[in-house]
Amino acid sequence: MTTLSVDAETARSDYAALVERGLFLDITRGKPSPRQLDLSNGMLGLPGDVFKAEDGTDVRNYGGLNGLAELRRLFSGFLQVPADQLLAAGNSSLELMHDSVVQAMLSALPGAERRWADEERVAFLCPVPGYDRHFALSERFGIELIQVPMTESGPDMDVVERLVAEDAGIKGIWCVPKYSNPDGTTYSDETVRRLAAMTTAAPDFRIFWDNAYAIHHLTDVEAPLADLLALCEENGNADRAFVFGSTSKVTLAGAGVGFFGASKANIAWWLGKIGKRTIGPDKINQLRHILFLKDEDGVRAHMRKHRELIAPKFDAVDRILTEELGGTGLASWTKPTGGYFISLTVVPGTAKEVVRLAKAAGIALTPAGATHPYGDDPEDKTIRIAPTFPELAEIEEAVKGLTVCVRLAAAERA
């Protein structure tokens, strides 16, 4: 963003014309579109009159806290967790992250001196930009959030290593390691190795490894990710990783299956606590997933259908941003090869104004600042674009309108 060029008068008249159109568009949340959900309609009729899992378990009944073994095996490779250390749970991974925090508050984790509720202070590192729901969940439980800048290879590990080594109050870090929300970054092997090997002042430090986009590729080049759990074990920190994932954006966002993976000690700890909360997960839904997806190739084929539907939307966002803002110095943006988001960086000090202008013109964007803890983007320059849900034509219209707002906000500030 070197050569700033914006013609204020044109920006103002373009904006007036935009408002005049009375649009009503929403690119706020990373939801699958109805057509993506349609891909899994075949699942709704399953499991039919089949109600036995491979080990003879009657899925209609209580029990089976670990989830169905065949489903855990199917996602074991994708999530890089040995099947016997992977649990298949309810419909959401976010609730598993929530419960992990709550259980750690209420009962000492393996390796902990005391439960988090009895600590003077519990802090988490938050690579920014990041996922607003991670931040909201932490804030709800009084966890202090410390920003760490993202780089092209993941969180700035020099900063992470220094902070966790000196501060025993830092108990965790939020990570979306593959096609991260919102900038699409995949952590490099070196970043993952350093996370696994670093010295932490807290004996009960946990990496919340939210691998929500593990298999959500947008191109033929599937980003590789190092195996955190194995690296933690190799480095004598076996209990450090909590791995999360789900089929929310594989099958049905409201009726998928969430997964939790960790060391054997962590899993035993977790089952001991969670067994007080539920007698077992919805195994009918788990069986439905197995019958529908079948095997790893089945999952890959299914994900390719998602890609066919959403990749053109990502391409359209990039094309319009390039046409309207390329070379102006007013913005830069990510070109993700997977995941659900594009991160748009505008002139510092204008992101809130861009979002306000867009809203007034009928284009709903994720609030500026949502990508940072406490909603505070110190430079006020990050905007998250979620292109999956609207139809292609709507996305094109919304992003075109957004570029008008980017230009006007920059002109107002100049």
User: What DSSP assignment string belongs to 167-201?
Assistant: -TTEEEEEE--SS-TTT-----HHHHHHHHH---S
By CB under 6 A, name the one of 66, 246, 251, 343 that touches ligand PMP: 246
State the minimum distance, in angstroms, from the CB of residue 207 to ligand PMP. Answer: 14
Spell out, one character per residue from 172 to 191, where the chain touches ligand PMP: x when CB under 6 A holds, - when not: ----x----x----------
- In order of 247, 274, 357, 402, 414, the CA distances from 354 in angstroms are 33, 44, 5, 8, 14
By CB under 6 A, name the one of 40, 80, 93, 371 that touches ligand PMP: 93
E strands present in 135-280: 144-151, 154-155, 170-175, 206-210, 241-246, 258-261
CA distance 174 to 139: 13
By CB under 6 A, name the one of 66, 76, 85, 92 that touches ligand PMP: 92
Instruction: Tell whether residue 47 is a contact of ligand PMP (CB under 6 A).
Output: no
Residue 309's identity, in one-letter code, is: L
Instruction: Tell whether residue 248 is a contact of ligand PMP (CB under 6 A).
Output: yes
Spell out, one character per residue from 3 to 32, where the chain touches ligand PMP: x when CB under 6 A holds, - when not: ---------------------------x--
What end-to-end distance do the CA atoms of the chain give, in Å?
A: 15
CB 153 within 8 A of CB 194: no
Residue among 30 and 127 whose Cβ is closer to ligand PMP: 30
Residue among 210 and 377 whose Cβ is closer to ligand PMP: 210
Residue among 214 and 325 whose Cβ is closer to ligand PMP: 214
Residue among 179 and 333 whose Cβ is closer to ligand PMP: 179
By CB under 6 A, name the one of 15, 78, 131, 314 that touches ligand PMP: 131
Residue among 94 and 290 whose Cβ is closer to ligand PMP: 94
State the minimum distance, in angstroms, from the CB of residue 286 to ligand PMP. Answer: 14
Residue among 181 and 403 whose Cβ is closer to ligand PMP: 181
Spell out, one character per residue from 205 to 234, where the chain touches ligand PMP: x when CB under 6 A holds, - when not: -----x-x----------------------
Q: Which listed range, 92-100, 184-192, 312-320, 393-401, lies at the site for ligand PMP (CB under 6 A)?
A: 92-100
Size of the site for ligand PMP (CB under 6 A): 12
CA distance 152 to 320: 23
Instruction: Tell whether residue 325 is a contact of ligand PMP (CB under 6 A).
Output: no
Q: What is the CB neighbour count within 10 angstroms for residue 382?
A: 22
By CB under 6 A, name the one of 25, 68, 94, 229 that touches ligand PMP: 94
Instruction: Tell whether residue 343 is a contact of ligand PMP (CB under 6 A).
Output: no
Instruction: Tell whether residue 285 is a contact of ligand PMP (CB under 6 A).
Output: no
- Report residue 408: phi and psi, to 5°: -65, -45
CB 149 within 8 A of CB 156: yes
Residue among 200 and 382 whose Cβ is closer to ligand PMP: 382
CA distance 212 to 248: 9
Secondary structure class of 354 (helix, strand, coil) = helix
Closest CA relative to residue 250, chosen from 184, 203, 296, 181: 296
Closest CA relative to residue 172, chosen from 202, 198, 142, 192: 202
Q: How far is CA 259 from the centre of its chain?
A: 14
State the minimum distance, in angstroms, from the CB of residue 339 to ligand PMP. Answer: 8
Dihedral-angle region of residue 142 (phi above 0 means left; psi in -120 to 50 means alpha; beta otherwise): left
Secondary structure class of 166 (helix, strand, coil) = helix
Residue among 85 and 248 whose Cβ is closer to ligand PMP: 248
Binding site for ligand PMP (CB under 6 A): 30, 92-94, 131, 176, 181, 210, 212, 246, 248, 258
